[in-house]
Chain A
Amino acid sequence: MTHIFGRGLVAALAIGLGCGGVFALFYGANGLVERFAPGNSKNRLLPWVYLTPALLLLAVYLVLPTLVTIYISCFDARSQAFVGLTNYLTVFTDKTMGEAFRNNLLWLVGVTGGSVSLGLLIAVLADRVRYEPVPKTLIFLPMAISFVGASVIWKFIYAFRPAGTAQIGLLNAVVTSLGFEPVGWLVERSINNLALIAIMIWLQTGFCMVLLSAAVKGIPQEIIEAARLDGASEGQIFWRITLPLIRSTILVVSTTTILLVLKVFDIVYVMTAGNQGTEVLASRMFKEMFSFRHYGRGSAIAVLLLLAVIPIMVLNIREFRRPTPLR
């Protein structure tokens, strides 16, 4: 009992130190400038007092590492010999990398298409019933669950027992009760990627639904009523009025999902560790770094990720700037 208490105390101490430290830093620096900086220079110095910690951290954690990564992507495994673009060539010709590219593409299409269309469907349907918050909360809830937690949940759903024994995985229980043989969902190469993608759809649909629902509700009721008076059917209203009006939100939701999927790592790492043909770029990079200790190739994959992200991010920020999320 005492050692639990002791460990709790240590944790509390660490938390206090970390949180208190940052305030002490600003308070001290501000006090120094206010007291010792002569008259006019005070106003010129203060902005930098407030900015420096942020700029320092951004430089150390984002700017410099990015530059270094680009640089060492042109070196060998231990960053000693310059190898030009060899790493990139390897990355593009390697067989498992080909698999990773193919899988990432599959993820992009599957997750983005699945969660955006399901999210839109639920948003539109829930808009028409009085108990709207209930399905919306239930479907949104997985958003709070970590990829690791979700992986355990779904691993249990996909659990496989040999034919003849009782199935404890929900999916195989359904399959066997219908008279089929149980399926190794995470082992069969033809379906294991889809099984992983389903997890991501389960997690991501709530996000798409919330944004799309807000957009659907943002359409002025008069426009819908005007269309109805003009004789449009509910289907026509959806395809010809609603959909074009929420186009911008669909774009934001899709690009956001794409960005997330491009870097998907946790699900694959926990569920299959990238085996049985389920490798994706991010899990491959992790392997290059920690299993093969090949920093050159790991960096090259990271650079490819960056190159893939930039155009989508630019598109996203441009669309994102239109609605104001916080007001």
Chain B
Amino acid sequence: MPNFLATRLTTWVSQTPIHLALVVLSTLWTLPSLGLLISSIRPPEEVLTTGWWTVFQHPFDFTQYSLENYRTVLSAEGLGQALLNSLTIAIPATVIPIAIAAFAAYALAWMEFPGRQWLFLAIVALLVVPLQMTFIPLLRAYGHLGLTGTFAGLWLAHTGYGLPLGIYLLRNYIGSLPRDLIEAAAVDGATPWQIFTRLIVPLSMPAIASFAVFQFLWVWNDLLVALVYLGGTPTVAPLTITLTNLVGSRGQDWHLLTAGAFITMTLPLLVFLALQRYFVRGLLAGSIKG
């Protein structure tokens, strides 16, 4: 028994550098977010005069914390409206491409028509197009059509940009479902619509969830596309734009910036923690997004 303990001890000691390296790296990666979180709940005058790490002198003195900053940014600085706008943008901009990509993927995977493979390859090829390639012509068209600064315009843009990846992902997954299942449903009397809604969609949930998580985070965190198509309209601006503007106008008011940044991060972090498994798959697959 002592022998066994000694072995355990030597293994532990020989592993010390590994433990040390992991602790250092984990700390390095966590400190920035931790500083943000702590600063966001400190009173303004303290944030601006002392470092956030000073709270650790009396970590359990709760009088040094307050939620005042959050109240200010949500109302006075317009982050409350921006949060609503972000939801209004991100939810349809996730649901619409899923629906459109899923139908297209089903047709490409299981319906017979000439040029099927060729069409799929062409769609995958669109993954190479950087979004920058599309801004100028679309912006002009949006100007003519009055779509600039509208939610619908942004939904459609995000849908168009998300489709190549969505179709690629879903077509590969749907195409790998057993042929027998789809044929069994056809023999059982299902129409193509019923096969899609009763069989394909429930069975493809893992892939749909992956794409959903990926697309949602992408849209939620997007700044560029929103900047281009929403312009400066504050009534429709999502969190990313509002926060960016806040950096510009209140660049030194760290108590507001930290609270604002934390608000933008909350939902994606929740989605991330709840659906990490799908998120990993989505990232893995999303690694080729244009």
B149 cross-chain contacts in A, Cβ below 8 A: none
- With A and B bound together, what is the CA distance between A30 and B195 in angstroms? 13
A152 cross-chain contacts in B, Cβ below 8 A: 36, 243, 247, 257-258, 260-261
With A148-B243, A152-B243, A320-B287 as contacts: A326 and B15 at CB distance below 8 Å: no
Q: Which of A255-288 contact B (CB under 8 A)?
A: 256, 259, 262-263, 265-266, 269-270, 282, 285-286
Q: Which of A145-160 contact B (CB under 8 A)?
A: 145-149, 151-157, 159
With A15-B88, A282-B132 as contacts: A144 and B271 at CB distance below 8 Å: yes
Residue of A nearest to B39 (CB): A156
With A11-B85, A57-B163, A62-B160 as contacts: A138 and B26 at CB distance below 8 Å: yes
Are A125 and B21 interface neighbours, CB within 8 A? yes
Best-surrounded residue of A63, A138, A320 (most CB of chain B within 10 A)? A138
B4 cross-chain contacts in A, Cβ below 8 A: none
Best-surrounded residue of A11, A253, A313 (most CB of chain B within 10 A)? A11
Interface of A is mostly: helix
Q: Separation in Å of the B213 CB from the closest CB of chain A?
A: 10
A227 located at the interface, meaning its Cβ lies under 8 Å from any Cβ of chain B in the complex: no
B87 located at the interface, meaning its Cβ lies under 8 Å from any Cβ of chain A in the complex: yes
Are B287 and A65 interface neighbours, CB within 8 A? no
The digit string for A272-311, where 1 denotes a CB below 8 A from any CB of B, is: 0000000000100110010000010011011101100110
A105 located at the interface, meaning its Cβ lies under 8 Å from any Cβ of chain B in the complex: no
Q: How many A-B residue pairs have CB under 8 A?
A: 316
Residue of B nearest to A288 (CB): B136
Number of interface residues of B (CB under 8 A): 115
Partner of A157, one of B32, B192, B193: B32
Of A45-53, A106-114, A238-246, which stretch is located at the interface?
Answer: A45-53
With A65-B134, A266-B224, A326-B207 as contacts: A50 and B106 at CB distance below 8 Å: yes
B18 cross-chain contacts in A, Cβ below 8 A: 125, 128-129
A224 located at the interface, meaning its Cβ lies under 8 Å from any Cβ of chain B in the complex: no
B72 located at the interface, meaning its Cβ lies under 8 Å from any Cβ of chain A in the complex: no
A206 cross-chain contacts in B, Cβ below 8 A: 29
Interface of B is mostly: helix
- With A and B bound together, what is the CA distance between A274 and B256 in angstroms? 24
With A152-B36, A325-B281, A326-B172 as contacts: A266 and B92 at CB distance below 8 Å: no
A69 located at the interface, meaning its Cβ lies under 8 Å from any Cβ of chain B in the complex: yes
With A15-B88, A128-B15 as contacts: A141 and B33 at CB distance below 8 Å: yes
- With A and B bound together, what is the CA distance between A269 and B1 in angstroms? 62
Are B240 and A58 interface neighbours, CB within 8 A? no
A270 cross-chain contacts in B, Cβ below 8 A: 223, 244, 247
B173 located at the interface, meaning its Cβ lies under 8 Å from any Cβ of chain A in the complex: yes
Q: Separation in Å of the A60 CB from the closest CB of chain B?
A: 7
Are A299 and B136 interface neighbours, CB within 8 A? yes
A170 cross-chain contacts in B, Cβ below 8 A: 31-32, 35, 51-53
Are B96 and A166 interface neighbours, CB within 8 A? no
Are A58 and B48 interface neighbours, CB within 8 A? no
With A156-B35, A326-B169 as contacts: A58 and B160 at CB distance below 8 Å: yes
Are A8 and B288 interface neighbours, CB within 8 A? no
Are B84 and A8 interface neighbours, CB within 8 A? yes
Are A309 and B155 interface neighbours, CB within 8 A? no
- With A and B bound together, what is the CA distance between A30 and B193 in angstroms? 7
A207 cross-chain contacts in B, Cβ below 8 A: 283, 287
Are B99 and A22 interface neighbours, CB within 8 A? yes
Residue of B nearest to A14 (CB): B88
- With A and B bound together, what is the CA distance between A61 and B73 in angstroms? 35
A117 located at the interface, meaning its Cβ lies under 8 Å from any Cβ of chain B in the complex: no
A4 located at the interface, meaning its Cβ lies under 8 Å from any Cβ of chain B in the complex: yes
A185 located at the interface, meaning its Cβ lies under 8 Å from any Cβ of chain B in the complex: no
Rank and list the top 3 A-B pairs by shortest CB-CB distance, nearest first: A61-B160, A18-B92, A146-B221
Q: A15-B92, A18-B91, A168-B51 are in contact. List 7 more A-B contacts (CB 8 A).
A: A47-B112, A72-B137, A125-B18, A149-B261, A263-B131, A302-B132, A309-B128
A-B contacts, 15 of them at CB < 8 A, read A26-B99, A34-B193, A48-B113, A50-B104, A62-B160, A134-B26, A147-B221, A170-B52, A266-B223, A269-B244, A298-B135, A305-B130, A309-B128, A310-B128, A314-B128
